[in-house]
Amino acid sequence: MIAELDRSVMLEPRALRDQSIPKELLEYANECHLYLIGHRPMTVVDPNSLSVDDNLMTARFISYEQSEDAIVECTWTQPGISGAVRVESDWPHNVLRIMDASDSQIARGNASFFLAYAMASAESDVQRLPVDAQFLDLMVDYIGKAYGTEGNRGAIARLQSHSTLQRILSELPRDMESWIILLNSDSQTLFTSIVPSGQKGDSADQEDDLHLQRALAGPLEEEMIVDFLEGCLIKYFQPPYNVQLKKTFPQASAKPLAELYTRDLNAVGFELDTRHLSVRLRSATVASSFAHNAMYSLHSPTDRKNMFDFVDDIEVLRARRR
């Protein structure tokens, strides 16, 4: 089974403290039960470079990434603004504010947030990826989940009193900034290949039929999907602040995964694409990319030799879906 992480929201930790998340975004984010915490070099702007003409903004961005050429000047169309507005930034110039003619704030965000908008409109990856590498790529620090009784606890509620998040923020160097990506899966796909292990009507054939019935016994509960996705993501990225699941996932004795083994599934996996967030993810063991995927077998190779088997190559699975 592959679960697509097709619901995602990116927030700065400040938004959790001052409750500045827009209502429509909050409703969407509250349905997310997984979260990823990461960091990247702080981005600042040259305040003398700031200008806005209707909805066309210009700024020179400077990254704290240790490189002499980590400077880029961009002009881009900023959604949600028009008319007589101005843009300003106070020391240390890592936050931009857009003010209207009456000095009311109509938009606020980290400098890297505005740079991400600019890069999203780049004509090609050749143009944007060098900038992403210096400014926007996110190093994954921690992956967690939040799932309360009847699924009524989302990631935002969990993060508002999260000791690991507070630890990450307290240990983060001053020239870095932290970001949170909320995740959830709204679609899952079960792939099968059938290799009969017996003759029609004999005991092996009957066991094959039972096996198939168990595997196709309806959709998995949302909590089970959240559980295995958390394990997959931790196993894949190997985040430094995670302790559990990095080496042990998947494990037949783990209670949260019991239904997967009851269904006699062979493997679980994930697909994650963050291009719409304008951020590539990376870790100490995973190279920067917008797209990440992996599959993990629930059984040792010697345990699985019957008719209902999952294909291990995720590229083959993706080709079948087209």
pLDDT number for residue 129:
85
* Cβ-Cβ contacts under 8 Å for 212 (sequence gap 6 or more): 194, 307, 308
Distances (CA, A) of 131 to 47, 124, 199, 247, 302: 20, 12, 60, 34, 47
pLDDT number for residue 14:
83
Helix or strand or coil: residue 157? helix
- Give the model's confidence band at 35: pLDDT under 50 very low, under 70 low, under 90 confident, else very high: very high
Q: How far is CA 76 from the centre of its chain?
A: 25
Q: Higher model confidence: residue 152 or residue 18?
A: 18
- Give the model's confidence band at 300: pLDDT under 50 very low, under 70 low, under 90 confident, else very high: low
Mark 220-238 as b/e (b = at least 16 C-beta within 10 Å): beeebbbbbbbbbbbbbbb
Which of 23-27, 138-142, 257-261: highest mean pLDDT? 138-142
Q: Taking Cα atoms as reference points, which of 7, 39, 28 lies closest to residue 175?
A: 39
pLDDT in tens, 240-264: 999 988 988 887 666 667 777 676 6
pLDDT in tens, 288-298: 999 999 998 88
pLDDT number for residue 95:
93
* Mean pLDDT, the chain, integer: 79
Q: Higher model confidence: residue 171 or residue 70?
A: 171
Separation between Cα atoms, residue 310 and residue 159, nearest integer Å: 35
Q: How many residues does the chain have?
A: 322
Separation between Cα atoms, residue 147 and residue 29, nearest integer Å: 13
Separation between Cα atoms, residue 249 and residue 254, nearest integer Å: 9
Separation between Cα atoms, residue 26 and residue 233, nearest integer Å: 24
On the question of pLDDT at 60 being above 90, the answer is: yes
At residue 221, φ and ψ (nearest 5 deg) are -65, 150
Q: What percent of the chain clears pLDDT 70, i.e. is strictly above it?
A: 74
On the question of pLDDT at 96 being above 70, the answer is: yes
Can you give the pTM of this predicted structure?
A: 0.81
